[in-house]
Structure 1
Amino acid sequence: MNRLTQGVVLLLFGGAILRASMTDLYLRYVKEGLRPFLIATGVLLVAAAVMTIWYSFRAATTHADDDQGHDHHGPGVGWLLILPVLGLLLVAPPALGSYAANQAGSVVVAAGDSNYPPLPEGDPVELSILDYASRALFDAGKSLEGRDLRLTGFITTAPDGSPMLARIVLSCCAADGRPIKLGMTGRPPVDVPADTWIEVTGVYSAQTSKDPVNNVDVAFIEVKTWQEVAQPKQPYA
């Protein structure tokens, strides 16, 4: 690959990173707190690209006479490296969803070092799936009992075909995403397609099961009502 090709690829790649960072698109790839680092990376790549392209044209002009009769260009196939970068610019892949959740075992929820703090006042209480699962499995639901709870996630399916509520948990980026899954009793959604985002209102259930992928305990929630919602701006937990 010649220097001009390298510069164009860098420019497109840096532009793709900046485009994603300036919108909510970056939240499909990394956690929210990494946005400043993405912007800095995009700026550096664009700057490096501009310098590389400028140097390429300058060198071509300066050494035009020396280059007569010689071919110093790399193979044209190097330009094919632009294709995945254009794909990143033109096609935004969806956030990880039910397929990823079904392929990976549920997150091993960490036990708290002490009693879980009481939930905020008011019903229903907004909780993350991760927080609910932690309280349900390691606090025996003590901080959840007697409260109406509201959780948001997408639909995935258990091996027996029953619907589950799930969310992908990130440590850093989508590459390390792992699902946290909840079973649903009571009045769970019926015939709702996988990857549909729903908001569930329900109460604590003592029922548990095992995730067949990694044999981790899976908590349940007793559903009172549910409704379909749009995918949140931040789809990951």
Structure 2
Amino acid sequence: MNRQAQAVVMLLLGGAVVRASVTDMYLRYVKESLQPFLIAAGIVLIAAAVMTLFYEVLRPSAKDDHDHDHGDGKPHREPRVGWLLILPVLGLLLVAPPALGSYAAGQAGTALSGQQASSDYPPLPAGDPAKISVLDYASRAVFDKGVSLGDRTVQLTGFIAKGPNGEPILARIILSCCAADGRPIKLGMSGNAPTDLAADTWVEVVGRYTDKVAADPVNDETIPYIEVETWTEIDPPKQQYE
């Protein structure tokens, strides 16, 4: 791969990163707060590629870009491994993999083991039902024993996954940085729980705290339950990670 080819590949890669960053596509890979950094990185790649092409086209020397003399009198070719950069470019431009979902949730244990136990949770948001995250509910249910939830009705949004005994559970993937460190938060559902829904179906669940729990077969951590009163199937949200 000569320098001009390297510059073209870098230009394509930078363009693909910028394109993904100015659309919702980047939300499948990283947290929303990282968007400015992705755009900046893509612009830097594009600028470096343009400068390289400008230098290669206008430089006065007419060297063979395929063969370079490294001082030993023998021609050397640039490493061909650089062509592998085409793969992420094609992945970003041609393939749009979905966000992590039920399969990832089934392969990893619930992430509550990494949370700090606390009995000092803030009051629930105003409204009936109170809209909170799956992580917030699960943390309050496990570590606060539901004290801060009380008898309030809450609304949660998540996707359907398979539970410890094969029953449907509500899940959501949380990120520290990017999809590579994604971990699931799992909630069992009792009461008027949705049934016969395909995995990865997104639902809004309205219910109350219950002290029912189960053990996650993957890491043996506690999976809390919610007593479901009503549920509604919804389209996947723009931001599918918590």
Structures share fold, TM-score greater than 0.5 = yes
Please give the secondary structure, in 2, of the residue aligned with 1:40: helix
5 Å-filtered alignment, 1:1-237, equals: 1-59=1-59, 62-64=60-62, 67=64, 71=67, 74=78, 79=83, 81-107=85-111, 108=113, 110-237=115-242
1:56-85 Cα shifts (integer Å, max 9, x gaps)? 2234xx333x549x8556477854642431
Q: Distance in 2 between matches of 1:177 and 1:67?
A: 47
Please give the secondary structure, in 2, of the residue aligned with 1:14: helix
Per-residue deviation, 1:10 = 0.9
Q: Distance in 2 between matches of 1:99 and 1:161?
A: 13
Letter in 2 for 1:200: V
CA separation of 1:17 and 1:84: change in aligned 2, threshold 3 A = closer
Per-residue deviation, 1:94 = 0.7
Moved more, 134-143 or 82-91: 82-91
Please give the secondary structure, in 2, of the residue aligned with 1:152: strand
Q: Distance in 2 between matches of 1:83 and 1:156?
A: 31
Per-residue deviation, 1:35 = 1.1
- Contact in 1 for aligned 2:164/2:215 (Cα 8 Å): no
Per-residue deviation, 1:173 = 0.5
- Contact in 2 for aligned 1:197/1:230 (Cα 8 Å): yes
Q: Distance in 2 between matches of 1:134 and 1:75?
A: 51
Equivalenced residue count is 233
Letter in 1 for 2:171: A
Per-residue deviation, 1:160 = 2.1
Moved more, 77-86 or 3-12: 77-86
The percentage of counterpart residues that share the same residue type is 63
1:94-125 Cα shifts (integer Å, max 9, x gaps)? 10000110011110252344422221332111
Could you say what the CA RMSD is over the residues aligned between the two structures, in angstroms? 2.0
Per-residue deviation, 1:159 = 3.7
Please give the secondary structure, in 1, of the residue aligned with 2:9: helix
1:117-175 Cα shifts (integer Å, max 9, x gaps)? 22133211101000001110111111212111100000100142100100000001110
- Contact in 1 for aligned 2:129/2:206 (Cα 8 Å): yes
Q: Distance in 2 between matches of 1:3 and 1:100?
A: 40
Q: Distance in 2 between matches of 1:109 and 1:203?
A: 24
Question: Could you list the runs of 5+ residues in structure 1 that have no partner in the other structure?
Answer: none
The TM-score with structure 2 as length reference comes to: 0.89
Partner of 2:72: none
Segments ≥4 residues shifted beyond 6 Å = none
Please give the secondary structure, in 1, of the residue aligned with 2:27: helix
Q: Distance in 2 between matches of 1:137 and 1:77?
A: 49
